[in-house]
Structure formats: structure tokens, C-alpha cells
Structure 1
């Protein structure tokens, strides 16, 4: 008796659409694009990914002497082939220097309904005015850049979470930026800037995370919903970098009548006690 040879089963091509989408969402953007060679069923799946992530792992795959050119060539190819909305865009490459390509990318994305924008490159990059046209933005993370919204900017009407780390920004600009985001619920500030006074007006704020107490006096207005405050520090930073000596630390908490949860790390408390009690 002869048996017919078993035909190989193409399980990859026959995966349900939702399973394929979940797999692609877990992969870095470059790896997701590479899945197009798996089968005809996968060829164009990656171009509909709503999340585009470009980080150091992608950056390091290109040769050093042509890294910037090759990286942006890849990025442009991804954007030009993409279909549908891009709800999340992340560009986190601290070694990437400021260049016109970045302005073009941010401007290009302004029409794609971006809801979450995460950005960090080499220090000093000036955020272009086109970012402040992201009307669908709900979550914003900016690091090591210069922020100065255009005069016509009226705020991110849908923003619920904002993180600003090592950015360059004036106190008045920061106050205006925060107060113009009326739905803001979570705010993280991590600066080297030193302000004499900062007033935070965010009526829907529920969580405030402060790293490096950078201001002599902070007042939070309309804080009836603010239930959680975290004050932490970076352990590798020395005490003199915090400049706690002139901080009205107790006065800060006077403006938090609805506070339910307060988190302080050990290093922060130790440095503050040394400066204000021992010294």
C-alpha cells in the first residue's frame, strides 16, 4: 500500500488577522517590515501598523559612516508606504544630531492623527511649530529639546499625559503650555532649569511626578483632583545639583488639599535633609 506524501501546512499564512496584528505590534518597526518576506499573506500587513517605533536598536543596524543617511532613508520608506492612521510615533535616538530631516518627519506626521508622540535626540533640537498642530494628541513625551510654541498655539485639547525631561523652556512658556491642556491628568517634570516661581494650573490633574526640585516655589492651582504626588531624584546626581536650599518645600504641599498618596525616594529625602538640617 502506498501513501501520498503529506502536504506541508502553511500555518504562518493561515494565522487569523488579529493574531498577525498582535505579532507585528510586538516587533520593532524594522523587524515588522522584514516580515513581508514570510508569505504573500504577510507582505503588506506591516504597512498598516498604527505604532511606529524608531530607537537605538534600529539606529545601530546601519554603518557608522553612513548611519544618518541610511536611517532616514529607511524612515522615509516606512512613512511613504504606510497606510491608515499612525496613532503612536516614537523617535528615541539620543545620538542623532539635529537636521532638517527631523523637521520634515514631524511636519509629515501632522496629518496622520498621532495620539502619542515620544521624542528624544541629541540635546538642543528645537521642536518645530508643526508639532503643535497635532490636534489628536493624547500623550506627549519630550526630552532634551527646546520648546517654544508658536503665538497662535491654543493648547492640546485632548492631551491627558505630558512628560518633559531635560527640556529647555521658559517658566512662562511652561505655565502657558500646561494651562492650555485642559484635560491634562498626568504630568512629569524633570528639569535642570531653575525657576524662581512656577504656577501649575491644571484642573483635571490627578498625578504629578517631580524629579529634581528645580523651583524655589511651586503652586498648584485648582488641585481638587490631584491625589498622587511623586518626588524622586536621579541617584547619580550630587546634592549641589538639586539646589534644594532655597526651595519652599513645605509651601508646595500647602496647595494640595486632595492629596491621598505621596511618594518620595530615599535619595531625595536624604539630600534634602542634609541641605536643610545638617548644613
Structure 2
């Protein structure tokens, strides 16, 4: 059979768009395994992928991410306003949050305590706050409202005691404390 110019003959095997046919939970699982900068870059793949990164359950703003921004010369992006925007763009629950505070960067403690409060409402299970800044990060008792926490790592923080009605961390499996100060009170 001759092919007529200008006409397209469909092949017998129709190719499927496997990437766009993947279930949302599979896509989220893949994106969670990428550094956040690469997960956000997937928004350029197609119109369908423009906001897929907002389904992330893991928000990892660790030292590697900060070094990546510093290498681009945009480490001034690493501030309360932009981190808050990330929180507001994420659609579902955030089960893992890592925050690295470099030795030369000041992040507002009120913003950090607000993020912890938001995370407690979003079902946080894995929380890591690594403070390299010389001043101790003063965490409020909102930390104790993260009752689904399974993993907690804190560095150079001070913690205020929980409210008497707090049940603590009933699901905690892993705890790492480095240079952590407990402010006067009953921690049970």
C-alpha cells in the first residue's frame, strides 16, 4: 500500500503516554525522592505537570538545597516569605520537613514556630530543624502539637515546655538532639 503525501498512516501499535497516565500517588512518590529544586523543575515538562510538584509530601530545605541556591548566587531567596509561599502552595499533607538554617542567615523565629504549627495540622511525621546560626532557635510549645511525629531531629534549639494537656509524641520512634536546651518547666 502506497503512502499518500500529506496523509499520516497510524501505526498498528499506538504509543501510550505512560508518564501522564501514572497515578497521582506514584507521581508524588517519585517527586518526593527528588531534591525540591528538581521536583519544581518538572513543571516545565508539560501543561499537565505544571503544578504536580505541589503534591509533594516532603519539603526538604536542607544544607544541600541551600548550597545549590548559593552556587546560583540566589541564596537571598532563602527567606521566610519564600518558604511560606512553598507551604501555601503544597496541596496536601506534609509528612516530612527539613529546614537548614546556615550560620550566616537569620530566619525569623516567629515564622519558624508558625510553620511548625502548620505542619502539626498537615500531619508531619518527620521533622528536622538544623540551626547552624550562633543564636539558639527558641521553639514554642507548638512543637508538642505534632502528635504524629515519628522522627524528630533538632540542632541548636531551646524548647519551651508543653501545655499540661499535651500528650507529647506518642508515635516517636527516632529522636536526635544536638545542643538542645530545655527551658524551665515540666517535660514529663
- TM-score category of the 2 structures, normalised to the smaller one: 0.7 to 0.9
Moved more, 136-145 or 92-101: 92-101
Structure whose CA Rg is larger? 1
Tell me by how many angstroms 1:131 deviates. Answer: 1.1
Equivalenced residues, count = 173
Where do 5+ consecutive residues of structure 1 fail to align? 181-279
Query: Structure 2, unaligned stretches of length 5 or more?
Result: none
The answer to whether structure 1 residue 89 and structure 2 residue 101 are counterparts is no
1:148 Cα shift? Answer: 2.8
2 CA distance for matches of 1:6 and 1:78?
44
Q: Counterparts of 1:38 and 1:138 in 2: how far apart (Å)?
A: 34
Out of 64, 81, 84, the residue aligned to residue 76 of structure 1 is 84
**1:144 corresponds to:** 156
Query: Which residue pairs with 1:156 in the alignment?
Result: 169
Distance 1:146 1:98, change over 3 A: farther
Aligned match for 1:165, one of 178, 181, 185 = 178
The equivalent residue for 1:277 is none
Identify the structure with bigger relative contact order (alpha carbons < 8 Å, sequence gap 6+): 2
- TM-score, normalised to structure 1's length? 0.53
**Partner secondary structure for residue 166 of structure 1:** strand
Q: Deviations over 1:168-219 (max 9, x none)?
A: 237x86xx64xx5xxxxxxxxxxxxxxxxxxxxxxxxxxxxxxxxxxxxxxx
Contact 2:3 2:9 in 1 (8 A): no
RMSD: 3.0
Change (3 A) 1:10 1:151: same
Aligned equivalents of 2:102 and 2:75: distance in 1? 17
